[in-house]
């Protein structure tokens, strides 16, 4: 649903905003009524609809409260003041990757799995993907390319992460009511862990991901997406590996029904020239917004 105030901003229902901001519906209502933190739109029936700008403001307010400010102190602050307060606040400690990388370097699979499992349990799937899995994979890849890490260590890390993240994809009964999102990679793209992490982030945001692994032929992607009733197909691109990925994505877009969205993300997608009908996913936050909007619209006819 679009904003009714003359802008083209997308709007979200209360439940979607709760998932996007990490604030409970009770807190969202309290911050609105008691402090005037945001003023959502209202439908003719009185239902709240939050603009994209409301969501961004609520995220900033949540971050400010997490750094020690009271909501009464910051509720009516401008975006510039909130940004300044957050910039001056001490950074939250990030999970330590050094012990994990040390275990990876030693090819110590049990210790690597133990350390990663501890982080997953402590952080939950969403933050684990952002703060541990993504930077760990990036660092492992950099070290492998520099020749300071053996390929066995890289494969071991990938296998352990694949097992841990795969267990996070159990779909809840509530998520089953959401439109399916089909995750895979194009033929020849064997690096599918980033796509798996995107599927986990989607599940964590309340979506309904269907992850089938990587390197799927285009006709198989189209047939499988149709078979599961996918509302969107999400393609991960790790590296531009000599294939004309842009052409392949264009062919896939033409082969998919018009009502099925096509999303592309990953480090290899940054330099691709994409057709207007293909959506580029910039990061996990962007993915969560796309998932929320898709859930608002429901499954394609």
pLDDT tens per residue, range 212-236: 999 999 999 999 999 999 999 999 9
Q: Which residue has the higher pLDDT, 7 or 66?
A: 66
Return the C-alpha torsion angle 167, 224, 283, 215, nearest 10: 80
pLDDT tens per residue, range 75-120: 999 999 998 888 887 765 678 899 999 999 999 999 999 999 999 9
d(CA 110, CA 159): 12
CATH 1.20.120.1760 fits 98-167, yes or no: no
- Encoded tokens for 204: 């964590």
Give the strand order in the sheet containing 232-236: 208-211, 180-185, 232-236, 261-265, 278-281
pLDDT tens per residue, range 114-126: 999 999 999 889 8
Q: Could you tell me which residues come within 8 angstroms of residue 173 by beta carbon, excluding any fewer than 6 positions away?
A: none
Q: Which residue has the higher pLDDT, 126 or 133?
A: 133
pLDDT bin (cut points 50, 70, 90) of residue 242 is very low
**Tell me, what's the pLDDT at 92?**
59
Percent of the chain exceeding pLDDT 70 equals: 92
* Intra-chain end-to-end CA distance of the chain, in Å: 17
- Segments making up each domain of the chain, as ranges: 11-88, 98-167, 171-297
d(CA 88, CA 90): 7
d(CA 296, CA 301): 14
Q: 258-283 as b/e, with b when 16 or more CB fall inside 10 Å?
A: eebbbbbbbebbeeeebeeebbebee
Look up tokens 């909007």; give the residue. 293
CA distances (Å), 121 to each of 124, 129, 182, in order? 6, 12, 26
d(CA 159, CA 164): 9
d(CA 63, CA 86): 7
Return the C-alpha torsion angle 290, 293, 299, 301, nearest 10: -110
Look up tokens 């940004």; give the residue. 83
Question: DSSP strand E in 160-288: where?
Answer: 180-185, 208-211, 232-236, 261-265, 278-281
CATH 3.30.300.340 fits 11-88, yes or no: no
**Tell me, what's the pLDDT at 56?**
92
pLDDT tens per residue, range 155-190: 999 999 999 999 988 766 667 788 999 999 999 888
Report the CATH fold assignment for 171-297: Rossmann fold (3.40.50)
């Amino acid at each position: 649903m679009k904003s009714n105030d003359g802008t083209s901003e997308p709007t979200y229902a209360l439940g979607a905003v709760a998932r996007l901001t990490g604030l409970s519906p009770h807190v969202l209502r309290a911050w609105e009524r008691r402090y005037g933190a945001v003023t959502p739109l209202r439908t003719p029936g009185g239902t709240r609809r939050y603009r994209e700008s409301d969501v961004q403001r609520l995220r900033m307010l949540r971050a400010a409260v997490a750094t020690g400010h009271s909501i009464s102190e910051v509720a009516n602050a401008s975006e510039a003041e909130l940004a300044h307060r957050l910039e001056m606040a001490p950074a939250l400690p990030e999970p330590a990757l050094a012990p994990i990388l040390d275990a990876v370097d030693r090819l110590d699979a049990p210790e690597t799995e133990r350390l990663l499992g501890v982080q997953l349990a402590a952080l939950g799937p969403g933050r684990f993907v952002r703060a541990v899995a993504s930077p760990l994979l990036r660092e492992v890849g950099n070290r492998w390319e520099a020749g300071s890490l053996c390929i066995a260590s890289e494969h071991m890390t990938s296998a352990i992460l694949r097992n841990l993240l795969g267990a996070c994809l159990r779909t809840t009964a509530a998520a089953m009511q959401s439109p399916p999102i089909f995750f895979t990679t194009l033929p020849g793209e064997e690096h599918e862990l980033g796509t798996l992490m995107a599927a986990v982030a989607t599940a964590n945001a309340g979506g309904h991901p269907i992850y089938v692994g990587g390197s799927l032929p285009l006709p198989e992607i189209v047939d499988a997406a149709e078979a599961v009733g996918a509302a969107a197909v999400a393609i991960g691109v790790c590296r531009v590996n000599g294939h004309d990925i842009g052409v392949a994505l264009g062919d896939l877009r033409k082969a998919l029904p018009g009502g099925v969205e096509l999303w592309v993300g990953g480090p290899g997608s940054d330099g691709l020239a994409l057709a207007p009908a293909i959506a580029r996913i910039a990061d996990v936050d962007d993915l969560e917004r796309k998932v929320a909007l898709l859930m608002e619209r429901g499954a394609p006819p």
